[in-house]
């Protein structure tokens, strides 16, 4: 009986990938532990457990911080994951996030006519900007066959330097080489979250993330539009033959993906937790982080929520590493390992199945 249950568990198509994501996390954490052991042998065990439990150690405050870090990467993860589902590899979430974030801040700082709804208008404009920023790669892909990986990644750098330039021209705080802060009306409301998660950085952006996840989930799984998007993603030829406007759907898919990344920008910068658009020569990390989140979350909107929260949790843990004289980048290495292992998920699955099969034969 027990064996039959195990068989059913391993064979359940829906569970196997989840199971291998878990394995990837465990394997990644183990490698992380080895790294800690090398960097700081005497305190490695302590550091490891601090990292593992930092997201919970201070109760609501820690949890609030986890949510704060998770919100934008759930959005960028959703952006990348959604594009994946429609057969596109959007590496341009960073650029869409930057342009969206900039427009959000510009509207937030420079307009007053919308009063308490300034944040909402800024948010919507960020989404539109993100969508528009992906139009160029979208058109090139659909009509000229230029691969979106190349174009979106180049658009990231165009976005970075364009936004640097525009920040200096319009909303510059030249004392700090960064943008001005978002005024109160432009901050996404927290609806009491800050009273639940006291003393944390928690922001209202989490509501936006959850809302977007629900919207994308419904589009992908319940609508005719989503049916067509997925169909195009899986098989362009069959979709064309079924009368779907493949080029238009592809362009729309990339624009939606861009819009989600654009809102991620708004979620980051329309806050009162001292995050400013910095004038710098490196790309913000949340964009590429989205690829990791999407990978571990198996490109599934619900999976992305969990993997986004997990990565947020790790970021909080990483900040505690300084106690042990380790830099927070240790966490980036561990994150990288986990993503690496989730890319190897198929190996885990096969290994698990092989071990399992041998057992079945022995019985």
Element (H, E) at 173: strand 172-173
Which residues form the interface with another protein (CB under 8 A)? 7, 11, 13, 222-225, 227, 230-231, 234-235, 237-245, 361
State the nearest-atom distance from the C-beta of 244 to another protein, in Å.
8
Helices 224-234 and 205-222 cross at an angle (nearest 10°) of: 80
Question: How far apart, in whole angstroms, are the C-alpha atoms of residue 336 and residue 317?
Answer: 15
When the beta carbons of 187 and 246 are compared against another protein, the nearer one is: 246
When the beta carbons of 72 and 226 are compared against another protein, the nearer one is: 226
State the nearest-atom distance from the C-beta of 248 to another protein, in Å.
11
When the beta carbons of 238 and 323 are compared against another protein, the nearer one is: 238
3 state DSSP class of 66: helix
CB 294 within 8 A of CB 257: no
When the beta carbons of 224 and 274 are compared against another protein, the nearer one is: 224
When the beta carbons of 145 and 243 are compared against another protein, the nearer one is: 243
State the nearest-atom distance from the C-beta of 14 to another protein, in Å.
11
The tokens of 164 are what? 């640097």
What is each CA distance from 211 to 85, 158, 182, 205, 237, in whole angstroms?
Answer: 19, 29, 22, 10, 33
When the beta carbons of 143 and 191 are compared against another protein, the nearer one is: 143
State the nearest-atom distance from the C-beta of 298 to another protein, in Å.
14
What is each CA distance from 196 to 63, 193, 210, 360, in whole angstroms?
Answer: 10, 5, 18, 51
What is each CA distance from 289 to 50, 73, 194, 237, in whole angstroms?
Answer: 23, 6, 25, 32
State the nearest-atom distance from the C-beta of 242 to another protein, in Å.
5
- Beta partners for residue 173, in sequence order: 178
State the nearest-atom distance from the C-beta of 128 to another protein, in Å.
21
C-alpha gyration radius of the chain: 22
When the beta carbons of 85 and 320 are compared against another protein, the nearer one is: 85
CB 261 within 8 A of CB 290: yes
| Neighbour tally for 144: CB within 10 Å | 8
State the nearest-atom distance from the C-beta of 152 to another protein, in Å.
24
Instruction: Please report where in the chains the tokens 């238009």 appear, as a residue.
Output: 248
Sign of dihedral through CA atoms 346, 348, 351, 355? negative
């Amino acid at each position: 009986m027990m064996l039959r249950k195990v068989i059913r568990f391993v064979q359940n198509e829906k569970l196997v990938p989840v199971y291998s994501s878990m394995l990837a996390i465990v394997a990644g954490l183990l490698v992380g532990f080895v790294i800690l052991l090398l960097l700081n042998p005497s305190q490695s065990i302590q550091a490891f457990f601090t990292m593992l439990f930092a997201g919970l150690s201070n109760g609501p405050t820690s949890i609030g911080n986890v949510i704060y870090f998770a919100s934008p990467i759930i959005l960028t993860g959703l952006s990348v994951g959604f594009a994946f589902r429609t057969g596109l590899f959007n590496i341009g979430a960073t650029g869409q996030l930057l342009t969206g974030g900039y427009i959000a801040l510009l509207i937030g700082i420079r307009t007053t006519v919308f009063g308490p709804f300034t944040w909402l208008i800024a948010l919507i404009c960020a989404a539109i900007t993100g969508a528009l920023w992906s139009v160029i790669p979208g058109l090139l892909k659909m009509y000229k066959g230029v691969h979106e990986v190349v174009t979106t990644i180049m658009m990231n750098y165009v976005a970075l330097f364009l936004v640097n330039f525009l920040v200096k021209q319009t909303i510059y705080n030249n004392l700090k080489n960064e943008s001005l802060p978002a005024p109160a009306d432009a901050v996404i409301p927290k609806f009491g979250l800050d009273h639940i998660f006291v003393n944390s950085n928690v922001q209202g952006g989490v509501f936006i993330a959850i809302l977007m996840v629900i919207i994308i989930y419904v589009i992908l799984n319940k609508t005719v539009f989503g049916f067509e998007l997925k169909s195009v993603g899986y098989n362009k030829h069959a979709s064309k033959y079924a009368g779907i406007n493949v080029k238009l759907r592809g362009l729309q898919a990339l624009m939606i993906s861009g819009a989600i990344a654009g809102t991620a920008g708004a979620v980051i910068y329309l806050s009162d937790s001292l995050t400013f658009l910095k004038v710098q020569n490196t790309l913000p990390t949340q964009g590429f982080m989205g690829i990791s989140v999407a990978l571990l979350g198996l490109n599934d909107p619900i999976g992305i929520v969990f993997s986004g929260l997990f990565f947020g949790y790790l970021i909080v843990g990483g900040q505690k590493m300084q106690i042990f004289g380790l830099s927070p980048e240790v966490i980036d290495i561990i994150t990288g390992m986990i993503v690496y292992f989730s890319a190897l998920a198929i190996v885990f699955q096969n290994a698990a199945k092989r071990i399992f099969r041998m057992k079945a034969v022995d019985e």
